[in-house]
Amino acid sequence: MANRFPIILHHRLPILAGVHPNSSISCTQLLKRSKNLSSCRVPRRLVFGIGVSFWAQFMSMAGKSVTTSFIASARTKGAVEQILQNVEWPEQFPFKEEDFQRFDESSDLVFYESPRFVTHIDDPAIAALTKYYKEVFPPSNTPGVALLDMCSSWVSHFPAGYKQERIAGMGLNEEELKANKVLTEYIVQDLNTNPKLPFEDNSFDVITNVVSVDYLTKPIEVFKEMRRILKPGGMAIMSFSNRCFFTKAISIWTSTGDSDHVMIVGAYFHYAGGFEPPQAVDISPNPGRSDPMYIVHSRKQATA
């Protein structure tokens, strides 16, 4: 039986004036801080709490009753894998412009002007992602294989010693990209200003994005570009945790939880078109004891 697109009710995260833009913070930390920082909340003029109306809109477009509930605990191994199985997607693109607003709408190039030599996720989560890449990437030094690390930084999550003739990186700070020793080439580009990817059609076998999909304000345009530059059958891997630069993440992300994020990224693949049905994987190494880590991936259709 197909999963109907869910109504998932979550506690709304407050907008905190005290969240420093240089720090990566988890939703759990935000909730803990909110208990002691209620006086620091700013007006909810940006819609960081779309919640009920958003899910209800999805269900309405799908022609389903808004009383239907599908709740998956992202802390339960196996639950995440079920979220994207046989989803009945609404016919129309359900997102609104305000869903992609951010608390800080200043230029991303200015925000990342200074290098941010930090890690968003802890070592066990990094190790889990590296292990996953080792399992799904083409073997090292496979002739003709090209990979693109989109929204990349100074940290390489690729397997140790992994080499290809072409590993391209895109990011917002040149110093960080230079520090990434895996990259054979890099480009500085703000995808929220210009989502057009500067590569030829059918160029890459794999595209990765690590804990950055939540910053994309034009995700459908970016995902369509990913489809264009992937080779037929090429794989796109979006990985994310519950950490982010909170003021730069889009409102639909900061107002929902981990399992919702899986559905949101799955929707990006679906509505971009030309991808196989997206799949989700929970690679969290130590649920409840280290940072969670989730994968939503898909392949470009052979006939796309």
**238: β partners:** 209, 296
Could you read off the pLDDT tens digit of each residue along the chain, which spans 304 residues?
555 554 333 333 322 222 333 344 444 443 343 333 222 233 222 333 334 344 455 545 555 443 333 333 444 557 888 999 989 999 988 889 999 999 999 888 888 787 777 777 999 999 999 999 999 999 999 999 999 999 999 999 999 999 999 999 999 999 999 999 999 999 999 999 999 999 999 999 999 999 999 999 999 999 999 999 999 999 999 999 987 788 889 999 999 988 899 999 999 999 999 999 999 999 999 888 899 999 999 999 997 5
Closest to 211 (Cα-Cα) out of 136, 275, 134, 155: 155
DSSP string, 30-79: HHHHHTT-GGGB----S-S--HHHHHHHHHHHTT--TT------TTSTTH
Sorted by where each begins, the domain ranges of the chain are 3-299
Tokens representing 275 are: 């991808």
- How far apart CA 124 and CA 106 sit, in angstroms, is 33
- How far apart CA 237 and CA 206 sit, in angstroms, is 8
Q: What is the DSSP letter of 106?
A: S
Residue 304's SS3 state is coil
Beta carbons within 10 angstroms of residue 64's beta carbon: 17
- How far apart CA 195 and CA 158 sit, in angstroms, is 24
* 104 phi/psi in degrees, rounded to 5: -110, 105
**Spatial contact of 262 and 236, defined as CB atoms under 8 Å apart:** no
- How far apart CA 244 and CA 22 sit, in angstroms, is 10
CATH fourth-level superfamily of 3-299: Vaccinia Virus protein VP39 (3.40.50.150)
- How far apart CA 262 and CA 84 sit, in angstroms, is 8
